[in-house]
Amino acid sequence: MNKSNQHANQLGLIIGGSISQGLDVRFSESLNIEQTKIGTFVTISGINSKFFGTVTDLRLDATDSKFSSHISTNIPGLSKVLSDTTVYSLATITPSLNISEEHQVPQPAKSLPPHFSPVFRASNEDVAAVFGSEDHKHIWIGSPLDMEDARVCLNLEDFVKRSNAVFGKSGTGKSFLTRILLSGILQRQVATNLIFDMHNEYGWESSTENGYSAKGLKQLFGSRVTIFTLDKESADIRGIKYDNEAQIGFDEIEPEDIAILASTLNITELGIQSCYALADYFKKDTIPWILKFLELTKEELNDLADHLRENTNTLEALRRNLSRLKRFSFMAERSIGKGITTSILENLMDNRHVVLEFGKHGDNESAYILVANLITRRIHEEYRKKTEAALAGNTDLPRPLVITIEEAHRFLNSGVASHTIFGTIAREMRKYRVTLLVVDQRPSGIDEEILSQIGTRIVCQLDNDRDIDAVLTAAAGSRNLRNILSRLESMQQSLMFGHAIPMPVVVKTRNYGSDFYSDITLPGFGNIDKKDLFG
């Protein structure tokens, strides 16, 4: 940046502060405070270092603490006389990174610039120096606040190494942001995606709030994406081009799968313990244990209760609640062919990305939890075996797997997180090459221990204080980040921070539309055939 442009972008000078509380910047002109927003990306020129930070607060101050009590009317010309002398404007900046003569690559800021160091609005070059440029592992995710021409890029290789989250209330654009992330992972081939598509948004096509259609992963990446549907009728009505109809056999359901449905099916702890006893008792029967149990007459049920030393009333209540599973159209007595889990696993092992659409069943909490947990538990077990075999030197490591779950608080709340495979995966980090992409509008419903393990958090607007506090669990500088979060705009704006982001940054998400569709066909990112994409 030349000196004239640099001077035009100067905001003011450092006049005090600390690493913990932030740096105080006195604006050089009164107009600067009107033109500066919470979340603005700035740089500070020290003597031997350049610091990168974010505006986290703005305030008006005066040299005389009694000033406000003496001024009661608008005296003509008084503001011009007093501005920048008796009264002045201040910003608080939280420094995150610095580049020094010793370290040319941005490092965490562990020191401070001296008094009177000049502060500037960040340039496009500054953004590139911190967040990199698009390449085989970086994807352009959006632009910093009021910097339309600059590009914030996300390191996808770092992103898939840990479980991550996209949070935001309904209507903030988090599903489109998620689509950009999933497309980037698929395009750069840094991992394989398994998406539990609760609201039928990621597979073939969905609609925006304005009524425009948005392409799903299958339309964009063709045969590299396989769509399974649990609701063939709904898919046919919506004109969805799915690859396979998915069914769950009663023979696939184990007591562990019922345990996490305790609250949604109204099953007591005693009822869950009875499931283990029933599965063991009927294990040699040709009929799956749940169906065998549901077919018992009242007399047979009483005899079974005596034999198992179970309470008859407990078994009767359990039978009533388990019978609700028979209402799901995707349930069959036995799994067909290889079974849904094996079919999905084969696709993943062949580096094909899988979207499982729920159709009308996405509105049923029990169906969503049952299917997602059942499939994930078995796939995680296979990845565990393959990873351990690879570490023993017998095979290659499997490609990292990212599992996307919506309404994640249903799986990860404090009541069930310890019972679900998703809680296990979140705590394991990437021990067996499997991580989560959590998409949720109620982060306060997720267990705090799980939240503390989330590597990168992309947070759209939240209007509940408990949700804001939750997303900041175990985050450095949470007090300052909270100030930024509370002032995000309602659409297409997010605060990004965590493992795959060098420093916290407010981003206007790039548009998910025709320009994005064209960008993903750039050469060098998977050699995608345009005929396959758009034919």
Q: Mean pLDDT over residues 474-501, rounded?
A: 90
Cross-strand pairs, 226: 354
Model confidence over 346-398: pLDDT tens digits? Answer: 999 999 999 999 999 988 989 999 999 999 999 999 999 999 999 988 788 99
In this prediction the pTM is 0.89
170 backbone φψ class: left, alpha, beta (φ>0; ψ -120 to 50)? beta
Level-2 CATH architecture, domain 154-231+351-522: 3-Layer(aba) Sandwich (3.40)
- Single out the residue of 360, 406, 371 nearest to residue 237, CA to CA: 360
CA angle 420, 399, 521 (to 5 degrees): 115
* Weakest mean pLDDT among 41-55, 204-218, 239-253, 432-446: 204-218
* pLDDT value for 69: 54
Residue 521, pLDDT above cutoff 70: no
Record the tokens describing residue 203, joined without a space: 């597979």
Q: pLDDT tens for residues 57-91?
A: 999 888 766 665 556 556 655 566 566 567 888 99
Interatomic CA distance for residues 390 and 257, integer angstroms: 29
Q: Structural domain boundaries of the chain?
A: 3-122, 154-231+351-522, 250-327
Q: Whole-angstrom Cα distance, residue 161 to residue 339?
A: 29
- Confidence category of residue 98, pLDDT binned at 50, 70, 90: very high
